[in-house]
Structure 1
Amino acid sequence: MSVDVQERPGAASPKRKRPVWKRPLAVARKWWGQLTSMRTALILLFALAVGAIPGSILPQRTVNVENVNKYFAENPGLAKFLDHLWMFDVYAAPWFAAVYGLLFISLIGCLVPRLREHFDALRRRPPDAPARLDLMPENASWADDAAEGADVVDRLRTLLRSRRYRTVVREHADGTVTLSAEKGYLRETGNLVFHFALVGLLIGVAFGALFGWHGNRVLGEGPDNAFCNNLQQYDDYGLGPNVSPAELPKFCIELASFKADYLDNGQPIQYSAELLYGEGGGMPDETFHLEVNEPLRLDGNNVYLLGHGYVPIIEFTDQYGNVQTSNTPFLAMNPSMLSEGVAIFPDANITPDGVRDKTKQVAFEGMFMPTAPEEPPYTSSLFPEPNNPAVMLFPYVGDTGLDRGKPGSVYALDRQQVASGALQAEGEGFLLRMGESKAVAGGTVTFKELQQYAVLQTRSDPGEGIVLWSSVALLAGLLPSLLVKRRRVWFRVKGNDVTAGGLPRTENQTFAAEFGELVAKAKES
């Protein structure tokens, strides 16, 4: 015996369980919807901006390794902790790359559907007039007794098109004719251009980071200081993950001369350098006048002038008559070009038999003044130009630590050697003006001459063109997205009776005045 069971009207039907294989797909769709929402894109953009803050506050290895080493020396515990978080390589950190990649995916996933909808809107005809135009935010009605209905429609259509409205005329069975008009599509176009330009910026920056490189060099005057484009000759450098040292272009650069112009208060007006360069590995024989905003372009790479300083040439004659010369750059500490540096002579006091005693090496900590005061204290420079150059030297004798093979700064003494007593101060500091000598540390030290140096940066950024045009597109899209307003206007003509209605699609403070002017023109015509 069979029994038919009928469900009670209004009773809830039993809930069907989703197949197990569809559950991961549903979860994926949910998270994809969250990731590609504009809210998530804004959150990721804010997170990217916050993540970039440490890159602006803390020294970065890709910019200046010396400053990173100095930070480690001053804050060893904190620096080690921050280094675990990639705070000294922020833009190469995995967490920064993750936020960057998620932002890129979010923007693409958010913009592609909007782009499709916008194309559909551009092809779609404006909708027919509502039945009650008098309920629109802006409305008007009048009788046009001066013309027939067809003439009224033609005049209205001509008026709307002259105002760049997309206009559609529809005839109805009862003899009514409606005109639907809309404008302001450029607003969404500009909005999409702006956001796609932002994606272009992300692509350009990422492309430059992956395939770009840079190197900084403190380059002294003269052929003896010329350098060629290889990593060993840069003071610090940064290579993109996809750049091999063997791929670097071949060129050599020499600093022929440097000139700096100053105001009377010491403020710099202009830096300029005369360079000699040779491409393809050739000797530097081509000339170029390098200025701050006029880089030298070599094989797709730019050589920039970042700054300058002085190189006091210091000569030391030891007790056996051996002469050594130091031409180490001194680094500027303030706008007056008061500079500090060292002159190290690791080969001092080698005996005539060639016996080398590391405990008799000589070094000097120095403070250079381009325009030194005539009277003490000699702790400042009166002007950045070398009007009265002098150097304050503090002698040391002992093991300078250079023989250990441990990397160190060429601009400072090894403080561990000083702290351990292996390198000890030898007497008081003294001032030498250019050409003067003084007997010290069993020998004679001479401030022989003065040269200048330029701080050059060689940079290759293959993404800069993408970034440039994306920035132009971003600004071009921003203006219409802010200034253009979307709005619709309808006219219904039946005989000589005309009814008009207007609806702003976005917040628009000027739409009432625009609609009133449009109606006034319609009545006049």
Structure 2
Amino acid sequence: MVDEALKERDQSKSPTPTRTVYGWGWGRWAWRTLTSMRTAVILLALLALAAIPGSFLPQRNVATDPAAVPLFYRDHPTMAPWLDRLFLFDVYASPWFAAVYLLLLVSMTGCVLPRCAKLWQECRAEPTRAPTRLSRMDGHRELSVQSDRGSVLRRATEILSRRGYRVVQAPGEVRAEKGYVREVGNLMFHLSLLLLLVGMASGKLLGFEGRAALADGDTFTNVESSYDEFSRSALTRVDELTPFSVTLDGLDAEFALSGARAGEPRKFDATVTYLQADGTEKSASIKPNQPLDIEGTKLFLTGHGYAPRVTVRDGTGEVVFAGPVIFLPIENNFTSDGVVKAPNAQPTQLGFEGLFLPTAPTNEGDRSQFPGLIAPRLDLTAYTGDLGMDRGAPQSVYAIKLDGMEEVAQKQMRVGDSLELPDGAGSITFDGVSRFANFQIAYDPGKEISLVAAIFLMIGLTTSLLIRRRRVWVRATDSGPTVTVEIAGQSLTRRDLPPADLVRLERELLSLNESLERTPS
């Protein structure tokens, strides 16, 4: 009975098992893991790997090459849909790329800001006290000086201050530290890295990119409908685009005339007049590497070509189209193709496909012999019928949908020639040749931020790598008629402590001696 009572008492005293609750502990562990430097480096490497497909696969919403993805679909009809399912044609707008980028931004913020606070505290902190046993520190040396302790410490303070150390004189010792600039560089590096991510994110979220081709005399107005191609970011407000207009006054192009490099472009500059929102009108020259900046929106000259001027008359004799038509170059000698559409022609709509040769061969060849405008020729194929522009589906201005169209005539035309269509359907006259310029228009509010961040990042990295942070201690102890002085240092980087400072300090302290007695450490 007694045993049973004792057993029951022991059982009653045993602690009741409790279920482990996973909550804040797991959250703190996850946050510490995410905001560690190791995780930030891994995420940075993952972001670089995630960006690789965007460098060799065509991307949507790229104004400079809008036809790249459709052409890839045409050439790879089996593989392209599978790549599209993985967002590989929209790499930089894909969910997985955004996830890695956001994780990296959070990781860098949580990692960098506390580290910056710690580095700032280290920059402001006084040199640490000398360890009890200086003999264990780097470069330790011990000497006897026939002077009083105060003079020795004052002399050491003067020497180290002159050498750029931050010095604190305490009872019996001098504490000195140098190389705080390294921590400033470290601080600059980490903050710049975070600022670089912010700049890149702001550019991707708020910027836009577009493309517009202007013939001589044409005017571009900065509204979405004026762009040939327009790629907006997630937070782009198209109703808040910078108001301005640009008129192409002329384009000056020169090519090498002879030698092995004949036909290579020597220069092409666009002269424009632009009108700002306040009514200010200015002239400017845009070159390939010298864009025009209008209140943060930049116009880059990315290409040029020819725009034949034509006049189209319909069957009633009315002029239904007159002016330059942009023909896009298809090879280095500026053989170019393009179309002319006359949807308002009566009694039937008219369409023309053409090939323009700025320097046509003397035979019937269909390739230009030189990119300069020497012997222009316009080869046209005429169509009549329904252009399909009333069906509501968008069409390219550089192509004709031939469904419902009938070919009726062809002709190779020189300037001044006309092509009369059969059955009195109309005519087209080749009036002359103008030039056109292709502009890339971009707004990236994060570009300047990223540039400044990259500059400071390199300055901070270079500073943190080149500057060596180190400490020096001097301890003076009275020992009879002399003062025993201990000198030692410590390197706070992976490189060894430079001995020059300690050697110079020892030499100048020994100058206080009237008679030197060196005691080995």
**What TM bracket, shorter-length normalisation?**
0.7 to 0.9
Q: Identify the residue that residue 57 of structure 1 maps to in structure 2.
A: 56
What SS does the aligned partner of 1:454 have? strand
Partner of 1:272: 269
- What amino acid does structure 2 have at the position aligned with 1:153? L
Partner of residue 483, structure 1:
466
Structure 1 residue 454 and structure 2 residue 441: aligned? Answer: no
Once the two structures are overlaid, the 10-residue window that deviates more, 405-414 or 484-493, is 405-414
Please give the residue correspondences for 1:58-457 in structure 2 after superposition, counting only pairs within 5 Å.
58-64=57-63, 65-145=66-146, 147-171=147-171, 177-222=172-217, 225-264=218-257, 265=261, 266-280=263-277, 286-316=282-312, 324-325=321-322, 327-346=324-343, 350-351=346-347, 356=348, 361-366=350-355, 368-375=356-363, 377-382=365-370, 384-394=371-381, 399-414=386-401, 417=402, 422-423=404-405, 431-437=412-418, 445-457=428-440
Q: Compute the displacement of 1:39 (Å).
A: 1.1
CA distance in 2, matches of 1:70, 1:449: 33
SS at match of 2:113: helix
CA pair 425-143 structure 1, distance change in 2 beyond 3 A: farther
Cα contact 1:362–1:395 (8 A) shared by 2? yes
Bigger drift between 440-449 and 385-394 goes to 440-449
Change beyond 3 A, Cα 1:450–1:178: same
CA RMSD for the aligned pairs?
3.4
| Kept after mapping to 2: 8 A contact 1:139/1:501 | yes
Residue 81 of structure 2 aligns to a residue whose secondary structure is: helix
Q: Secondary structure at the match of 1:86?
A: coil
Distance in 2, matches of 1:451 and 1:181, equals 75
Q: Does structure 2 retain, via aligned residues, the 8 Å contact 1:365–1:412?
A: no
Asked whether the 8 Å contact 2:250–2:271 carries over to 1, the reply is: yes
Cα distance between partner residues in 1 of 2:233 and 2:109: 25
Compute the displacement of 1:481 (Å).
Answer: 1.3
TM-score by length of 2: 0.82
Q: Return the alpha-carbon distance in structure 2 between the equivalents of residues 510 and 307 of structure 1.
A: 58
1:379-420 per-residue CA deviation (whole Å, 9 max, x = no partner) reads: 2432x3223323344555665444433223222344xx47xx
Q: Mean alpha-carbon deviation: is it higher for 327-336 or for 199-208?
A: 327-336
Q: 1:219-252: CA deviations, max 9, x gaps?
A: 1112xx3232221111011223333332223332
Measure, in 2, the Cα distance between the counterparts of 1:498 and 1:299.
66
Q: CA deviation at 1:105?
A: 0.8
Q: Which runs of 5+ in 1 are unaligned?
A: 8-13, 172-176
Q: Cα distance 1:379–1:501, how it changes in 2: closer, same or farther (>3 A)?
A: same
What amino acid is the match of 1:82? L
SS at match of 2:111: helix
Q: Cα–Cα, structure 1 residues 239 and 159, in superposed 2: closer, same or farther, change >3 Å? A: same
Change (3 A) 1:298 1:113: closer
Paired letter, 1:113 = P
Q: Is this contact kept in 2: 1:326–1:345, CA < 8 A?
A: no
Deviations 1:67-96 (A, max 9, x none): 333333333443333333333333222222
8 Å CA contact retained: 2:203, 2:445: yes
The equivalent residue for 1:10 is none
CA contact (8 A) 1:434 1:447 kept: yes
Structure 1 length normalisation: TM-score? 0.82
Q: Is the 8 A contact 1:326 1:343 kept in 2?
A: no
d(CA) in 1 for partners of 2:89, 2:422: 41
Change (3 A) 1:115 1:244: closer
Percent identity of equivalent pairs: 35
Per the alignment, in what secondary structure is the counterpart of residue 364 of structure 1? strand
The answer to whether the 8 Å contact 1:328/1:411 transfers is no
Deviation at 1:423, TM superposition (A): 4.8
Mapped partners of 1:444, 1:521: distance in 2: 101
Counterpart contact for 2:35–2:110, Cα < 8 Å = yes
Tell me how far apart the structure 1 counterparts of residues 472 and 219 of structure 2 sit (CA, whole Å).
72
Letter in 1 for 2:37: M
Matched residue, 1:11: none
Bigger mean CA deviation after superposition, 297-306 or 33-42: 297-306
Asked whether the 8 Å contact 2:182–2:467 carries over to 1, the reply is yes
Distance 1:46 1:219 in 2: 42
Give the 3-state SS of the residue equivalent to 2:375 in structure 1. Answer: coil
- Counterpart of 2:516 in structure 1 is none
Amino acid at match of 2:283: T
Conserved? CA contact 2:149–2:476, under 8 Å = yes
SS of 1:373 mapped into structure 2? coil
Q: Which runs of 5+ in 2 are unaligned?
A: 513-521
Task: Work out the CA distance in 2 between the residues paired with 1:406 and 1:165.
Answer: 75
1:449 deviation in Å? 0.9
Residues 208 and 444, structure 2, Cα contact 8 Å, conserved in 1:
yes
Q: Name whichever of 385-394 and 160-169 sits farther off.
A: 385-394
Aligned-pair CA distance for 1:204: 1.8
Q: 1: distance between equivalents of 2:278 and 2:431?
A: 33
Deviation at 1:514, TM superposition (A): 4.8
Letter in 1 for 2:202: F
Q: 1:521 to 1:68 in 2, by over 3 A?
A: farther
Deviation at 1:104, TM superposition (A): 1.0
Superposed displacement of residue 425, structure 1: 6.0
Equivalent position amino acid for 2:243 in 1: K
Counterpart CA distance in 2 for 1:19 and 1:179 is 57
CA contact (8 A) 1:310 1:330 kept: yes
Secondary structure of the residue that 1:462 maps to in structure 2? Answer: coil
Please state how far the C-alpha of 1:35 moved relative to its aligned partner: 0.5
Compute the displacement of 1:42 (Å).
Answer: 0.9
Matching residue's letter, 2:176: A
Q: Deviations over 1:138-162 (max 9, x none)?
A: 22233334x4332222111111111
Describe the SS at the equivalent of 1:214. Answer: strand
Q: Distance in 2 between matches of 1:331 and 1:316?
A: 20
Deviation at 1:523, TM superposition (A): 4.0
